[in-house]
Chain A
């Protein structure tokens, strides 16, 4: 299985800040990497596919980059509704997720 490792596991930021979350794959996954946002008690929400393509309706302050084994999710100008846990997921079966990054309000 391909292991996905996210860093940091948690971070604190303020409204208006720019944050970056990293995701590393244990082997080359090209650009087959997705990002999700999960709020407490809710199902994950799909944000980005194939490393950098925004799902329709996702605000443009979200962006993704990377290829191979190293990827990032960047949120510019944090909004109150962005405080949540973020997961990366690679697209080779068996699908695997990162352990999550909890974004908290400072």
Chain B
């Protein structure tokens, strides 16, 4: 079955750009039918959706982060990536990648998820 795995630096300096990659195995991003998402969870807090991308590179970002977020896809590597610019301590979180399964219209959900990767913003 499809599995997702996040990778990237665990420590980022304030004002720099956070960069993470999600590698997908067991299925092809190019096959279509799914959106590929990033979600984060600040320490001890709830879940915050960041955005998603389709294999065609169409994207949607949550408004609160839109000015700083870029999600891209590399179908040749079966990966998608997150860049978050001008980070502060408030961006310290566990970052998850997840697939968005859509059955019909608004019937959609996140499954599966990667295991998550902790990113700390600190000098």
Question: Interface residues, chain A, CB within 8 Å of chain B?
Answer: 1, 30, 32, 34, 36, 42-46, 49-50, 55, 87, 89, 91-100
Contact = CB atoms under 8 A, between A and B. Distances in A.
Nearest to A4: B46
Contact of B109 (A91, A93, A98, A99): A91
B113 A44 contact: yes
Contacts, number: 60
Q: Which secondary structure characterizes the binding site on chain B?
A: strand
B34 interface: no
Considering residues B47, B112, B114, which has the most beta carbons from chain A within 10 angstroms of its beta carbon?
B47
Contact of A89 (B63, B107, B110): B110
B109 A34 contact: yes
Contacts of A1: 62-63
Given A46-B112, A94-B60, 12 more contacts: A1-B63, A30-B106, A36-B47, A43-B96, A44-B110, A49-B108, A49-B109, A91-B108, A94-B62, A95-B62, A97-B47, A97-B49
Contacts of B16: none
Interface residues of B, number: 23
A36 B106 contact: no
Contacts of A96: 49
